[in-house]
Structure 1
Amino acid sequence: MQDALTVLQQVFGYPEFRGLQAEIVAHVATGHHALVLMPTGGGKSLCFQVPALLRPGVTVVVSPLIALMEDQVATLSELGVAAAY
């Protein structure tokens, strides 16, 4: 879990996870599936972005929110993370 916290701090600039994010990230980072329901602004994106940076290979995220994907890819690119939509 230390690796996830390091990614959170170094890439995204957050000092710690909120709520159940750490548990979700640990679950997904070990290769398990998850269905996560959180309110707007609850930090869902970090629940797939951090594990994507921890695991080898390519991560594919399917979302119907085109504008949100554009914003997230732009932000990830600014942070030096290879991302596309």
Structure 2
Amino acid sequence: MATTAKKKPVSKKTTLFDEKAPPGLVDPKLLRHLQEHFGFDGFKQNQGAIIKSLLSGKDTFVIMPTGGGKSLCYQLPAMMSEGVAIIVSPLIALMKNQVDLVRGYSAKDNVAHFLNSTLTKKQIKVV
């Protein structure tokens, strides 16, 4: 006998996105920040709507393929917002790659850091 799990209702504060959803209208302010921080003229698929959702404080679940532009969806809001953004990644190589990428787009050296088991105590203090 097969069993099926009951689906929990999605919070009204949560927005779901996947690669099949139609792109929404993009806020000109977001495009300006995209150009300023990354030098791009436009967003891929739903990036603009996803970023707008995050900046409005909504829990946002994104499913996109490799190369679909997920990283920009958390990098741009982090660069537009005050404070610190913490991104959790299970892959040390991906952490370094993402930090190097953001540092390459920013004039500030301290714009991004990573914390993992390969760092010395001195490096951890800097982070």
Higher relative contact order (CA 8 A, sep 6+): 1
In structure 2, stretches of 5+ residues that fail to align are 1-26, 115-127
CA RMSD of aligned residues (A): 1.3
Report the alpha carbon displacement of residue 69 of structure 1 after superposing the two structures with TM.
Answer: 1.4
In structure 1, stretches of 5+ residues that fail to align are none
Report the alpha carbon displacement of residue 5 of structure 1 after superposing the two structures with TM.
Answer: 1.3
**1:21 maps to amino acid:** Q
Aligned twin of 1:84: 113
Counterparts of 1:1-85 in structure 2 under 5 Å? 1-80=27-106, 81=108, 82-85=111-114
8 Å CA contact 1:4–1:54 kept in 2: the answer is: no
**2:64 maps to amino acid:** M
Of 22-31 and 3-12, more deviation after overlay is shown by 3-12
Query: What TM-score results when the alignment is normalised by the length of structure 1?
Result: 0.89
Q: Give the number of aligned pairs.
A: 85
Query: What TM-score results when the alignment is normalised by the length of structure 2?
Result: 0.62
2-structure distance, mates of 1:40, 1:75: 16
